[in-house]
Amino acid sequence: MKESYESVKLLLGKIKYDEFKWKLCGDLKVVALLLGMQLGYTKYCCFLCEWNSWNKKNHYVKKLWPKRKSLTPGEKNVINLPLILPEKIVLPLLHINLALMKNFVKGMNKTGRGFKYVRNKFPNVSDAKINEGIFIGPQIRELMQDEQFDEDLNETERNAWLSFKRICKDFLGNHKAAYYQDVVRTC
């Protein structure tokens, strides 16, 4: 970890990041490294809030976690000084899309018609990947266009699925809808 942190610090120096202060886009591991956070399965792994990854009973119940106030080394899984400001981070939309799909599938009734439909629709995808909700973009798009999948979901799953489709279309897509803030707030 320390070598990676030092390498990124050197790279940012070479490209004169402090002079230009660009916005940076990267997956959550890169973001954690740039912000001096501990990598791996940590208790406070979010750079935006104090979501407690070890608090399993509140994961899909508690909606608002306290906002992270600082990135101070030695506190809440921060081990180094941040190399960039959190405001300069841009999260890739594809990663958000994949994570939402993963959460949706993990929350499905594993004995329900909807989950069985997914398993049958993608026979070449391992059971382990399906159980963990690991899909790629084309598979997600295929499911989004499949009306039979919508019909096989129970009411709760269908509502969540329709919200997911709306987020993907009106917020995570190539063109944000004029009312995208309402879409995000509603979901």
Structural element, H or E, at residue 25: strand 24-25
Q: What does residue 142 show for φ and ψ, rounded to 5 degrees?
A: -60, -45
Report residue 115 as tokens. 């989950």
Query: What is the spatial distance between Cα 114 and Cα 10, in angstroms, rounded to a whole number?
Result: 49
HSE (CB half, 13 Å, CA atoms) of 174?
Answer: 0
Across the chain, what does the average pLDDT equal?
83
Domain limits, the chain: 2-90, 93-186
Q: What is the pLDDT of residues 30-45, one digit of tens each?
A: 888 888 888 877 787 7
Indicate the pTM of the whole model: 0.63
Q: What is the pLDDT of residues 131-161, one digit of tens each?
A: 888 888 889 889 989 999 989 999 988 888 8
